[in-house]
Amino acid sequence: MVQVKANQPGLLQRCEHIAATAAPIAVDDSRNLARNRQENRRVEVYAPGAALDDDEWAPLIAAIVRVTRFTLIRSAATGLWKRREETAFYASSVMLPAEIFASAIRGHWAVENENHWVRDVTLSEDASRIRVNPGIMARLRSQALNIARANGVANIAQAIWNGALDPAVTLLYRGL
C-alpha cells in the first residue's frame, strides 16, 4: 500500500473520481481523544473497477483507500477549538477489510513519529552540513537510536540531555 500524492496527478485524480462516484465496499470509523485534541477518522475502501483500465497502474491496484480525518485542536492559550480536515488516498495491491487498512495506516504514522521525527527534530538530521559521505553519520544516528531504545529509552531528547549532563549515564547502556 502506498499513498497517492500530488506528484502522481493522473492517478490521484482517478482515485478522487472513484471515491466521488462509487460506493465504498467497506468503511471503518474511529475516534481518538487526547487532552487537547479530538480526531474522527473514516477509512473507506473502493474497488477500482473499470476506472483504471486504461492506466499503467491498473494491473497493480486492487483497492483504493480514502482516509478522511476531522480534527479538533484546542488552543491552550485561547481555549478555542480549531477544526482541520484532511483527505488522503492510498493504492493497494490487495483488497483487505477497512479495519486492516486503518491499522496499517496508523502504524505507518508510528514509524514517522518514532523514527523520522526524532531524526529530524531531536537529532537535527535535516540541518546537518555533512556533504561527504553523509550515510556514515546517518548510520551512527541509527545505531545510537537503536542502542537507546534497546535500553528502554522512550524519550530520546531527555536521554540526550541526561547524557550531556552526565556522560556516565550513556556509558552504562547495554550494547556500547
Mean pLDDT of 150-161: 89
Q: What is the pLDDT of residues 123-151, one digit of tens each?
A: 888 788 888 888 888 888 888 888 888 99
Residue with cell 499513498: 3
pLDDT at site 72: 93
Q: What is the pLDDT of residues 63-102, one digit of tens each?
A: 999 999 999 999 888 989 999 999 999 999 999 999 999 9
pLDDT at site 111: 66
Could you tell me which of 128, 57, 67 has the C-alpha nearest to residue 93? 57
Question: By CB neighbour count within 10 A (0-12 exposed, 13-18 middle, 19+ buried), where does 68 fall?
Answer: middle
Name the β-bridge partners of 89. 4, 66
Could you tell me which of 134, 135, 136, 160 has the C-alpha nearest to residue 147? 160
Report whether 108 contacts 3 (CB < 8 A).
Answer: no
Could you tell me which of 9, 32, 36 has the C-alpha nearest to residue 109? 32
| Cα–Cα distance, 36 to 121 (Å, whole number) | 22
Q: What is the pLDDT of residues 2-59, one digit of tens each?
A: 899 998 898 999 999 999 999 999 999 999 888 888 999 999 999 998 877 777 778 8
| Cα–Cα distance, 95 to 101 (Å, whole number) | 9
pLDDT at site 92: 95
**CA distances, 11 to each of 5, 19, 20, 38 (Å):** 9, 12, 14, 31
163 confidence band (pLDDT: 50, 70, 90): confident
- How confident is the prediction for the chain on average, in pLDDT? 88
